[in-house]
Amino acid sequence: MSSVTQGRRKRPTSPKPTKGDQSVSELSAPLGLRNSPMPLLRWEELPQWQRDNEHILTSYRAPSNSWRGSVASIFALHNETVNIYSHLFGALLFCLLPLYTLREVYPRQADADLWDVMVFAVFFYGVAICFFLSASFHVLASHSPEVAGFELKLDYLGVVLLMWGATIPTVYYGFYGEPTLQLFYCSLVIAQSMTLTLGDLY
C-alpha cells in the first residue's frame, strides 16, 4: 500500500498569483473597485486628452470609442460614478418640481397666476437641463477626444441655460408690475444667452 502511495504523483497545482502577476488595470483601482467589470486606469496610463485633474490618481475609464460602452459605464464603479448619478438625480428632481408647483403650491396661493408657475418652471427646467447635460458629459467623456470635446461644450451650455433660467424669475419679480422693463430685460438676457451658446458651440 505504501509503495502504491509513493508511486502516485501529486496533482500539479497552479501557483498562487502574486501582486507582480496582476495586470496594471487590476492594480490601478482602489480595493473596492478592483472587481469592476471594466478596465480602470491610473493617471499615468491615460492618453493626453483624458488628463484633466492630476490630483485624481486612479479609477479612470479606458477610452471606449463606443457609444454603447460609454453608456454601459453608468452601471460600473469608477471615479465618475458619483458625478453621473448625482447629476441624473438632480435632473430628475428638477423635472418633477414644476409639476409639484402646479399641483400643490399654485392652488394654495390666492394671488398667484399661471405666469408665476411658468416663471418657476423656467428656473426648474433650466436647472434640470444643466444637470442632464453635465451628466451626459460625465458619461461620454471616455468615448473619444472628439466626443469628449463636444460634450464639454454641452456642459458649458448647460451652465449658460442655468444662468438664463435663474435670471428670468429675478427680472420678472424684480420688475413686477412693469411689463415694459420685464420685456426689455428678458429679451436682453435671452439675446446674451443665445450669443454665448452659439459662440460656445461653433
Which residues make Cβ contacts (< 8 Å) with residue 186, sequence separation at least 6?
Answer: 168, 171, 172
Cα–Cα dist 82/85, whole Å:
5
Cα–Cα dist 111/172, whole Å:
15
Cα–Cα dist 60/28, whole Å:
9
Of the candidates 192, 191, 172, the residue with the CA atom closest to the CA atom of residue 183: 172
Alpha helices in 105-178 (DSSP H): 114-140, 145-174
Of the candidates 172, 144, 81, the residue with the CA atom closest to the CA atom of residue 73: 81
Is 87 known to sit in a ligand binding site?
Answer: no
Cα–Cα dist 43/111, whole Å:
57
Judged by DSSP in three states, 61 sits in: strand
Question: How many of the other CB atoms lie within 10 Å of CB of 97?
Answer: 18
The binding site consists of 138
The binding site for Zn(2+) consists of 138
